[in-house]
Amino acid sequence: MPAVFGMTALDFLNDALGELEASGLLRTTDADGEGLLDVCSNDYLAFGRERVSRATLLTCEGLPTGAGASRLIFGTAKQHLALEAELADWTALESALLFANGYAANVGLLQALCRGGDWIVSDALNHASIIDGCRLSRGEVRVVAHRDVGGVEQALREGRGRRSWVVTESYFSMDGDVAPLRELRQVCDAFGAGLLVDEAHALGVFGPGGSGLCRAAGIAPDALVGTLGKAVGVQGAFVAGPSVLRRWLWNRARSLVFSTAPSPLVAQLALLNVQRARGADAERARLHALADELRARLRTAGATVPSGTGPIVPLILGDDARALRAAAALRALGLRVQAIRPPTVPAGSARLRLTVSCALSDADVAGVAECLIRTCSES
């Protein structure tokens, strides 16, 4: 270890980690979840937990495991193109372009699209990858209150004369509520602004054939970000939109240009799961029924569950230490659940972010609600 006068350059990290621990914000690895009931993953359709079958493996026989380079250099395989065509069809947009993951998709999209002098209006509860994309772009960012169409309109008025963008999640990952997409589209049209929608948690869950909340609302965003590691149950992400956008991202999205393409093998597995997700109406109906049941049981017991819909059910506890205590107590009862604390959520709104998957039984949901009610009233 390189040392100067007995110290190393990384020693300060011990103090910084100590401070995080003292303030209840230290994150540790989650290696002890085996055997617990999953109520925290994003595997909503329960595809991601399935063990790969021989039949699936046979469809992958002969495929290269690695892409070999960035898409621009060497990396485009038939499997990428087939998956992109499927994704464009699913979202009813002209084209799609794969990224390694949703973080890279948001960062690449915003950095490439929003240029010097642009004006970006961003929902206060947008995901970190959107925030980081805004930071990497050369645009000026105005953060507006959560789901506040009036605030968006006011911000666009202030930005008049500049190229403007509104960026939002469609189904908010930590709150389980839905953006007012139709109204946002109208306001964007009135001001000539582009609408960028992150459907990471909505694809596979909402809309016709699981095609997301934009299609459910009957609107077309200027760019749609979707992920393949959540309801689709594999890995990767994409940006869908007009083909001029795809061509631009191909040239200018640094997280695409300077990064190895997704494995063709993974692209093939994602294609199979997207096709399954499109046909999973029965699973979606069950998912929503289970989530409604969990919300209803928690509310009846007097818990603070914000208005929302779908498989993300936040239980707001407020205090970071209380959320940690509740999560630990629930794990002791057999539930795999995480305390969500700042900076993932605003200070003072620490919570248990519960998620439902269609792998849960009715009895599981009743048991989960009972454990939560008991634990949260005690912690």
The residue type at 166? V
* 230 flagged as catalytic: yes
Q: Does residue 169 touch ligand PLP according to CB under 6 A?
A: yes
From the CB of 107, what's the least distance to ligand PLP, in Å? Answer: 10
Site for ligand PLP in 174-213 (CB under 6 A): 198, 200-201
From the CB of 175, what's the least distance to ligand PLP, in Å? Answer: 11
Question: Which CB sits closer to ligand PLP, 144 or 303?
Answer: 144
Q: Does residue 129 touch ligand PLP according to CB under 6 A?
A: yes
Q: Does residue 127 touch ligand PLP according to CB under 6 A?
A: yes
From the CB of 99, what's the least distance to ligand PLP, in Å? Answer: 8
User: One of 42, 101, 122, 259 is an active-site residue; which one?
Assistant: 42
The CB-nearest residue to ligand PLP is 102
With CB under 6 A as the contact rule, the residue among 95, 173, 268, 357 that binds ligand PLP is: 173
With CB under 6 A as the contact rule, the residue among 106, 122, 255, 268 that binds ligand PLP is: 106
Question: Which CB sits closer to ligand PLP, 101 or 375?
Answer: 101
Question: Which CB sits closer to ligand PLP, 172 or 191?
Answer: 172
With CB under 6 A as the contact rule, the residue among 47, 90, 103, 238 that binds ligand PLP is: 103
User: One of 198, 222, 283, 320 is an active-site residue; which one?
Assistant: 198
SS3 readout for the chain: CCCECCECCCCHHHHHHHHHHHCCCCCCCCCCCCCCEECCCCCCCCCCCCCCCHHHHHHHCCCCCCCCCEHHHHHCCHHHHHHHHHHHHHHCCCEEEEECCHHHHHHHHHHHHCCCCCEEEEECCCCHHHHHHHHHCCCEEEEECCCCHHHHHHHHHHCCCCCEEEEEECECCCCCCECCHHHHHHHHHHHCCEEEEECCCCCCCCCHHHCCHHHHHCCCCCEEEEECCCCCCCCCEEEEECHHHHHHHHHHCHHHHCCECCCHHHHHHHHHHHHHHHCCHHHHHHHHHHHHHHHHHHHHCCCCCCCCCCCEEEEEEECHHHHHHHHHHHHHCCEECCEECCCCCCCCCEEEEEECCCCCCHHHHHHHHHHHHHHHHHC
Q: Tell me how far CA of residue 88 lies from CA of 92, 114, 140, 317, 341, in angstroms.
A: 6, 23, 30, 40, 35
* 201 flagged as catalytic: yes
* 41 flagged as catalytic: no
* 146 flagged as catalytic: no
Question: Which CB sits closer to ligand PLP, 173 or 263?
Answer: 173
* 198 flagged as catalytic: yes
With CB under 6 A as the contact rule, the residue among 91, 164, 227, 263 that binds ligand PLP is: 227
Q: Does residue 263 touch ligand PLP according to CB under 6 A?
A: no
Question: Which CB sits closer to ligand PLP, 40 or 77?
Answer: 40
Residues designated as active site? 42, 127, 169, 173, 198, 201, 230
Interface contacts to ligand PLP, rule CB under 6 A: 101-103, 106, 127, 129, 169, 173, 198, 200-201, 227, 229, 237
